[in-house]
Amino acid sequence: MTLLNVHIASIFFAGAVLLFADHDAFDWVLGKKQTLSHARMVLLHYLMWAALLSLIISGTLLFLPQASYLLHTPLFVIKLLFVAILVLNAILIGNLMHVAPKRPFSSLSLEEKLELYASGAISSFGWVSTVAIGLYLFY
């Protein structure tokens, strides 16, 4: 398997984990489930970290041979900023995910709900933008 294949496979893996996690999150926000399984959330969180780390390691190895060219490509630098935002958001989610196993979404304050919505929006925007920039630069 080439490095690029590992990079692409990691994107599909992250996408699959994201679908499971977002499906759970929608059930909780819509009240279909009052609370979520803590063990399942921890598992999905670690799987997402594994996907991110695999993307960062394979991406760094792809980057090194063409570093001087890519560092002068503004879109690539923007892509790296998005990756940094996704990593920071994953750390934030690590703190927020202790809420759903304990409390129904409807019992949260407006501030708590806004924090969760913001994290979800950052995650969606970050993933779509990073994949779009990656594809645009490659083709």
At position 79, the amino acid (one-letter code) is K
Among 86, 99, 100, 116, binds ligand HEM (CB under 6 A): 86
**Taking CB under 6 A as the rule, does residue 123 contact ligand HEM?**
no
Residue among 62, 49, 52, 75 nearest 3 (CA): 62
Q: Which of residues 20-39 bind ligand HEM (CB under 6 A)?
A: none
Residue placing its CB nearer to ligand HEM in the complex, 36 or 51: 51
d(CA 78, CA 68): 15
Among 18, 56, 92, 108, binds ligand HEM (CB under 6 A): 56
CB of 98 closer than 8 Å to CB of 128? no
Among 55, 93, 100, 116, binds ligand HEM (CB under 6 A): 55
- Give the per-residue SS3 of 63-126: HHHHHHHHHCCHHHHHHHHHHHHHHHHHHHHHHHCCCCCCCCHHHCCHHHHHHHHHHHHHHHHH
**Taking CB under 6 A as the rule, does residue 125 contact ligand HEM?**
no
Residue placing its CB nearer to ligand HEM in the complex, 108 or 127: 127
Among 6, 63, 112, 122, binds ligand HEM (CB under 6 A): 63
d(CA 120, CA 12): 19
The binding site for ligand HEM (CB under 6 A) comprises 4, 7-8, 11, 55-56, 59-60, 62-63, 70, 83, 86, 130-131, 134-135, 137-138
